[in-house]
């Protein structure tokens, strides 16, 4: 049976079993969509990245959750390039990456920090029923309306759209108990991948905010640390005028309430949004691939 080198790489952290785990298949040439989907389901990571050659960039990447393909994934991009750098496949510098949303620039520093330039941002406020939204998230609606007087709930995208929801205090965000069916219904109604809720009431003094993200429609009930949502939130904060003087770099913490803490570095300069972080490999091996003409379960 055909096998492929496959890894689990924890992104936005330097510690194993923290941050957000991404599956990485460094050489996915010849795998069809069914095989890729089966590999992603077997690994069980929120996203698995499949790398191939590209005619338009240094390489091509596609991302699969356990249930479907998604157009963009920040943590799997960081994980992939951190692994390529560790393997000596790429050097420090800027590399181009072909995604379903276009060709993006990826910078790797000498220290192994991966910076991903995301797609041009789209941000627009949306009208929401705070009672319905609070019930869906399992958060007291008053915790949403309190901050909503100054910061709107909004649709925000830098390649993958999210509903960005400000919450007043960490206590309320940490105690969230989402109704996944209701979250999925709201996500579909607003045509977003998921809901990213955040509060400026962070755990750590050097963090800008604390975020949580739920995307049950994509097969991800709660994502530990989300690069694309962090980029979208960064663009949202710039568009919303959240700061008197916009910071050169922000630090978003996430994952602490699912025991996988991580941190995303976010930079917004005009219409350019970049997210950055480190990654560490936690598992590596050869994975048996099912035949292309069969719907089989991958054998461990």
pTM of the full predicted structure? 0.92
Q: Spell out where 137-187 has E strands.
A: 154-157, 161-166
Per the structure, the complete domain to which residue 195 belongs is given by 122-276
* CA geometry: angle 6, 78, 202, nearest 5 deg: 125
**Structure tokens given for 156:** 């925000």
Site of tokens 């920040």: 74
Instruction: Tell which wins on pLDDT, 137 or 300.
Output: 137
**Same structural domain for residues 31 and 71?**
yes
Phi, psi (5° rounding) for residue 163?
-90, 115
Supply the residues annotated as catalytic: 47
> Is residue 151 within 8 Å of residue 197, measured between CB atoms?
no
Tell me the mean pLDDT in the region 1-25.
97
Please give the Cα distance from 37 to 69 (Å, whole number): 8
pLDDT of residue 293: 63
Residue 130 in any domain: the answer is yes
Total structural domains within the chain:
2
pLDDT class of 51 with cuts at 50, 70, 90: very high
Closest alpha carbon to 230 in 143, 173, 134, 158:
158
| Residue 46, pLDDT above cutoff 60 | yes
> Is residue 151 within 8 Å of residue 164, measured between CB atoms?
no
pLDDT of residue 290: 87
Tell me the mean pLDDT in the region 41-57.
97
| Residue 137, pLDDT above cutoff 90 | yes
What's the alpha-carbon Rg for the chain, to the nearest Å? Answer: 19
Site of tokens 């048996």: 288
SS3 78: helix
| pLDDT tens readout for residues 141-155 | 999 999 988 999 999
Contacts of 259 (CB under 8 A, 6+ apart): none
Site of tokens 């429609």: 217
pLDDT of residue 219: 87
CA distances from 289 to 45, 76, 204 (A): 17, 20, 43
Mean pLDDT, the chain, integer: 95
Centroid of chain to Cα 127: 25
**Same structural domain for residues 159 and 183?**
yes
Residue 184 in any domain: the answer is yes
**Same structural domain for residues 179 and 138?**
yes
**Structure tokens given for 79:** 């994980």
Closest alpha carbon to 101 in 149, 151, 62, 64:
62
**Same structural domain for residues 101 and 205?**
no
| Residue 163, pLDDT above cutoff 70 | yes
> Is residue 193 within 8 Å of residue 232, measured between CB atoms?
no
**CATH for 262:** 3.10.310.10
| Residue 283, pLDDT above cutoff 80 | yes
**Same structural domain for residues 127 and 269?**
yes
**Same structural domain for residues 13 and 66?**
yes
Percent of the chain with pLDDT over 90: 94
**Same structural domain for residues 264 and 283?**
no
| Residue 297, pLDDT above cutoff 80 | no
| pLDDT tens readout for residues 224-263 | 999 999 999 999 999 999 999 999 999 999 999 999 999 9
């Amino acid at each position: 049976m055909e096998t492929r080198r496959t890894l689990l790489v924890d992104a936005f952290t330097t510690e194993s079993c923290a941050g957000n785990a991404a599956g990485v298949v460094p050489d996915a040439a010849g795998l069809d969509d069914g095989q890729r989907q089966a590999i992603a389901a077997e690994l069980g990571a929120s996203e698995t990245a499949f790398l191939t050659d590209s005619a338009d960039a240094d390489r091509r990447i596609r991302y699969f959750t356990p249930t479907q393909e998604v157009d963009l994934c920040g943590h799997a991009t960081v994980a992939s390039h951190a692994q390529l750098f560790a393997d000596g496949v790429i050097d420090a510098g800027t590399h181009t990456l072909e995604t379903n949303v276009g060709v993006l620039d990826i910078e790797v520093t000498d220290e192994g920090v991966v910076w991903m330039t995301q797609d041009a941002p789209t941000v627009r406020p949306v009208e929401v029923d705070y009672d319905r939204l609070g019930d869906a998230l399992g958060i007291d609606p008053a915790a949403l309306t309190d901050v909503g007087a100054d910061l709107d709930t909004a649709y925000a995208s830098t390649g993958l759209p999210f509903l960005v929801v400000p919450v007043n205090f960490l206590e309320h965000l940490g105690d969230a108990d989402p109704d996944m069916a209701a979250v999925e219904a709201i996500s579909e109604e607003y045509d977003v991948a998921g809901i990213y809720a955040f509060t400026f009431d962070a755990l750590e003094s050097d963090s800008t905010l604390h975020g949580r993200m739920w995307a049950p429609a994509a097969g991800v009930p709660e994502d530990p640390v989300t690069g694309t949502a962090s980029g979208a939130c960064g663009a949202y904060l710039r568009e919303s005028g959240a700061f008197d003087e916009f910071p050169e770099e922000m630090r978003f913490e996430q994952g602490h309430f699912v025991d996988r803490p991580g941190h995303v570095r976010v930079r917004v300069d005009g219409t350019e949004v970049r997210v950055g972080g480190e990654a560490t490999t936690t598992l590596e091996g050869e994975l048996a691939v099912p035949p292309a003409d069969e719907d089989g379960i991958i054998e461990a």
